[in-house]
A and B are shown apart, each in its own frame.
Chain A
Amino acid sequence: MTDILAVILGTTMLYVYATSRIEGYLKILALQGALLFALVLFDFASRSVFETVFLGAEALGVKAIAIPAILFNLVRKNEVRREIEPSLPQFFSLILSSLVFAFGFIISFWARRLAAGLAPLAFGVSISIIVSGLLLVMSRKKIVTHIIGYIFVENGIFLLSLSVASEMPFIVNLGVLLDAFTAVYLFVVFSNRIQRAYDEDRINALQNLKD
């Protein structure tokens, strides 16, 4: 069951590259949060009740509801609907992300031999999510998309830490929460003001500082 969930999670990243609608990205963020929540629940046996509640709250409350809702609100308010003129054409990025996804499977086959107590499929998929999140940051121009890409990376890391699971100390969970905090912080503080300071909310506008 965990494996199926992990694969679905990986597949959502393909949809990200197939669409250019920012609201589409946000729906995927919410979906990923829900899937991570389900993963946490299925892994219940290996964790204490307290940890399960904490991680579950993090996945459902923060990742599936709070962050997408805040972003949705801001996107609506600022009327940024689409990612236009990406640095990399849509088609290529879709192919690239498919390759990354396939690469994740290769890693998982090979990770099976690597260490005991590892969920290989989740491990491989998490790596592919992290890589494609970084790709999104690199290939798109809107600030909102950059933030979303960062959150994808974070979701990948969350899955990674779940897959390594069993003996990971509590401090790791703490780290994940701190990351989510960063993303929200980024957004609330900046996009509000960046919108006012710059006419365009594209990263292109951030090019005054250079040599």
Chain B
Amino acid sequence: MLILFFIAPAALCLVCLAFRRRVVNRIALLGFALAYAAGAVLVLIGPAFFLLPEELRRYFDFDSLGKLFLLTLAAVNLGVSGYSLFYLANVNLSREKDTLYTISMLLFLVSMTGGILSSHLGLLWVFVEATTLTGGMLISVERGKQALEAVWKYIFICSIGVALSFIGVIVLSLGSKSIGSLFFADLYAGAGAINPFLLKLAFAFILVGFGTKMGLAPVHAWLPDTHSEAPSPVSALLSGALLNVAGVGLVRFHPIMTGAGLEPFAGTLLLVMGFLSLLVSAAYILSSENYKRMLAYSSIENMGIVAIGLGLGGPGLFAALLHMVVHSFAKSGLFLTTGNIHRLAGSKQISDAGALLNRDRKTAWLWILGFVAIAGLPPFGAFFSKYFLVGAMVSRGLAWLAVPLFLLLAIVAFGMGKSVFGMAWGRYRPRGERDFVPEGAAPAAAGRRLSVWAYLPPAFFLVLLLGLGLFIPDFVTRLITDARNAFVAVGR
């Protein structure tokens, strides 16, 4: 299994480098996405079989948490790879760039897989660092002034975050001298013996570091810029998969705090950062004029919800895990749809992208349904994660927290809804012209046809979300419950 997830993509990179042909790149990208998805399913249903020595294997943990996010990542990657066919066909990259895109995509996937599966804190950190590097390569594929600025902010802010989380790792290793190992299993077992002060310090550093990566306020600065400037499939991957990797890191770290009896401390920090993220996104989403930025702020909001769930612990963890999965699908779908809109409207400004229904009906509906899914309206999965979150608040005796939660969620939903519906039904107003343009007078771009690859992936995510919402499949509930139980039990 590890060979499939780690060695195969490396080999494919070499193949792509050797040929530097577009066809080879496409086959590598799509073929690997399929193989990867098959592998993730195989891990789920059967005992994973390994060919590698025990020594190497213990660094990777195929537990229920790992399986859950492996599946999520596989699904997101499948959609994004499919959409890449459309993206690359339209963007006219040179052959070298095209190869670079493919290779970075594969390497990014490897580093995220590593982050999800590592059972060793140090190794997890290395993979999180690796996602920063490979992600930077991806974002900079389309060169331009603004893309450059976005990459710079991404790499610089994230690398400082990563450096801070490394201080957390060092401090933890100082505090856990008696354990002498950074494997999560050992840390859980010996959590009581860790110096509590150093553990608190370590958690604070790691929270800031991984929080940077995850986009929690107040260390979210890179996220809106990067998500809005990256190519759409890359934004989808960043939002739908990368944020989860840091989230998984926090989920894995959290039981150490519980085990050491420091859950209140960790919970408070997480709740503060979670609500701060909601506040920030509510404040900015109302005034956002760029639809990709708007989605980026929505990502900050959703990561805030995840942090709140994690901070509540117990049943909140279930809500957080479910929400991470649901958000991945919804946000990937939405970001991919922005690729279509950008293609149609030629701009990322909300004001330039009006009258979508007249320009391209399918894209408009994908856009509207995607919004409905992320806002947590009933038929889709996000409704249930938020429902469980409130349940967790009540069971923790913190029911009053639901009031600010609903208030902020309502503001965010209103801000997003205003723009989304405005884009779908509103009038088209060319920039600079403030005169009335009659409805239906769509611009010349209306004649453009998008290929089937532009619609299929976002629709695929919507179907997944609908499935998660209408009847949460048994294996998903079981995975999430297992993961939750594993991490709650460990903390006791």
Least Cβ distance of B114 to chain A in Å? 13
Assess the A209–B156 pair: CB atoms within 8 A: no
CA distance in complex: A102, B111 (Å): 40
In-complex Cβ contact of A206 among B133, B152, B177 (8 A)? B152
Which residues on the A side are within 8 Å of B177 (C-beta)?
Answer: 115-117, 167
- A174 in the interface, Cβ–Cβ < 8 Å? yes
Query: Binary interface profile of A, 163-190, with partner B (CB < 8 Å = 1, else 0)?
Result: 0100111011011001101110110011
Other-chain residue from A116, A157, A189, A209 in contact with B228 (beta carbon distance below 8 A): A209
Could you tell me if B153 and A206 are in contact, using CB atoms closer than 8 angstroms? yes
Q: Does A118 contact B (CB under 8 A)?
A: yes
Quick one: which of B155, B174, B228 contacts A118, CB cutoff 8 A?
B174
Q: Produce 1/0 per residue, A112-143, CB < 8 A to B.
A: 00111110000000000010001001000001
Which stretch of A36-44, A58-66, A92-100, A146-154 is in the interface? A146-154
Least distance between A211 CB and chain B CB atoms (Å): 6
| Residues of A contacting B8 in the complex (Cβ-Cβ under 8 angstroms) | none
**Is B268 interfacial (CB 8 A cutoff)?**
no
What is the chain A residue whose CB lies nearest that of B222? A209
User: Residues of B contacting A146 with CB < 8 Å?
Assistant: 156
Whether B360 is near chain A, meaning CB under 8 Å from some CB there, is: no
B133 touches A194 (CB 8 A): no
Q: Does B358 contact A (CB under 8 A)?
A: no
Q: Give the residue of B155, B173, B180 whose beta carbon is less than 8 angstroms from that of A186.
A: B155
A:60-106 near B, CB below 8 Å? none
Q: Which residues of A contact B130 (CB under 8 A)?
A: 178
Give Cα A63–Cα B159 distance, bound, in whole angstroms. 17
B195 cross-chain contacts in A, Cβ below 8 A: 114-115
Given the contacts A117-B177, A185-B133, A211-B287, A171 and B122 also touching, CB distance less than 8 Å: yes
Nearest CB in chain B: distance from A98 CB, A:
22
CA distance A190 to B155 in the complex (A): 10
B146 within 8 A of A: yes
* A209 and B163 in contact, given A115-B195, A150-B156, A171-B123 (Cβ under 8 angstroms): no
- Give complex CA distance A210, B296 in Å: 12
Please report which residues of chain B, range 154-182, place their CB below 8 angstroms from some CB of chain A when the two chains form the complex: 155-156, 159-160, 162-163, 166-167, 169-170, 173-175, 177, 180, 182
Q: Bound state CA distance, A208 and B160, in angstroms?
A: 22
Contact partners of B182 in chain A: CB under 8 A: 169, 171
How many residues belonging to B are interface residues under a CB distance threshold of 8 Å? 47
User: Are the C-beta atoms of B163 and A153 separated by less than 8 Å?
Assistant: yes
Contact of A157 among B123, B132, B163, B293 (CB under 8 A): B163
Question: Can you list, as one digit per residue, whether each of B194-211 has a CB less than 8 Å from chain A (1) or not (0)?
Answer: 010110000000000000
CB–CB B122/A175 < 8 A? yes
Does any Cβ of A come within 8 Å of B225's Cβ?
yes
**B198 partner, pick from A114, A116, A150, A189, beta carbons under 8 A:** A114
* CB nearest to A154 among chain B residues: B163
Tell me the smallest distance from the CB of B414 to a CB of chain A, in Å.
17
Flag whether B284 is at the interface (Cβ < 8 A). yes
Given contacts A117-B177, A167-B177, A178-B129, contact A208 B156 (CB under 8 A): no
Q: Give the residue name and chain of the B residue nearest to A143 (CB).
A: B152
Instruction: Assess whether A161 is interfacial by the CB under 8 Å rule.
Output: yes
A9 → chain B, closest Cβ, in Å?
17
- B287: A residues at CB distance < 8 A: 211
A1 proximal to B (CB < 8 A):
no
A206–B155 touching, CB < 8 Å: no
Question: Do A157 and B167 touch (CB < 8 A)?
Answer: yes
Q: Is A198 in contact with chain B by the CB < 8 A criterion?
A: yes
* A197 at interface by CB-CB < 8 Å: yes
Whether the Cβ atoms of B148 and A211 lie closer than 8 Å is no
Within 8 A of A (CB), among B395-411: none
Which chain B residue shows the least CB distance to A168?
A: B173
Those of B94-143 within 8 Å (CB) of chain A: 120, 122-123, 125-126, 129-130, 132-133, 136, 140, 143
**In whole angstroms, how far apart are the Cα atoms of A173 and B105 in the complex?**
27
> In the bound complex, how far is the Cα of B31 from the Cα of A97, in angstroms?
54
- Tell me whether A164 and B174 are in contact in the complex, defined as CB-CB below 8 angstroms, given that A115-B198, A153-B160, A182-B155 are known contacts: yes
Tell me whether B434 is interfacial, beta carbon within 8 Å: no
Least CB separation from A203: chain B residue = B152
Q: Is A160 located at the chain interface by the 8 A CB criterion?
A: yes
CB-nearest residue of chain A to B287: A211
Instruction: Give CA–CA (A201, B344) in the complex, Å.
Output: 35
B122 touches A169 (CB 8 A): yes
Q: Which of A115, A117, A157, A167 contacts B166 (CB 8 A)?
A: A157
For A160, the closest partner residue in chain B by CB is B170
Whole-angstrom CA separation of A164 from B145 in the bound complex:
43
Chain B residues, Cβ within 8 Å of A134: 160
How close is B142's CB to chain A, nearest CB, in angstroms? 13
B439: CB under 8 A from chain A? no
Could you tell me if A209 and B129 are in contact, using CB atoms closer than 8 angstroms? no
CB of B485 within 8 A of chain A?
A: no
Q: Are B153 and A182 in contact (CB under 8 A)?
A: no
Given the known interface contacts A114-B195, A190-B152, A211-B284, the answer about A157 and B170 at a Cβ–Cβ threshold of 8 Å is yes
Query: Looking at the complex, which one of B146, B162, B284 makes contact with A209 (CB distance below 8 Å)?
Result: B146
Residue in B closest to A164 when the chains form the complex, CB atoms: B174
Q: Is the CB of B174 within 8 A of A175?
A: no
Complex contact A130–B167 (CB within 8 A): yes
Q: Which residues does chain A contribute within 8 Å of B143, judged by CB atoms?
A: 193
Give residues in A with beta carbon < 8 Å to B.
Answer: 114-118, 130, 134, 137, 143, 146, 150, 153-154, 157, 160-161, 164, 167-169, 171-172, 174-175, 178-179, 181-183, 185-186, 189-190, 193-194, 197-198, 206, 208-211
Q: Which 6 A-B pairs have CB atoms at the shortest separation, nearest pair first?
A: A171-B122, A209-B225, A164-B174, A206-B149, A182-B159, A197-B145
Q: A114-B174, A115-B175 are known contacts; what are 5 more A-B pairs with Cβ within 8 Å?
A: A143-B152, A157-B166, A208-B145, A209-B146, A209-B228
Q: What are 24 residue pairs bridging A and B, where the CB atoms are less than 8 Å apart in the complex?
A: A114-B174, A114-B197, A115-B175, A130-B167, A143-B152, A150-B159, A150-B163, A157-B166, A160-B167, A160-B170, A161-B170, A171-B123, A172-B122, A172-B169, A178-B129, A178-B130, A179-B162, A186-B159, A189-B140, A190-B148, A209-B150, A209-B224, A209-B229, A211-B288
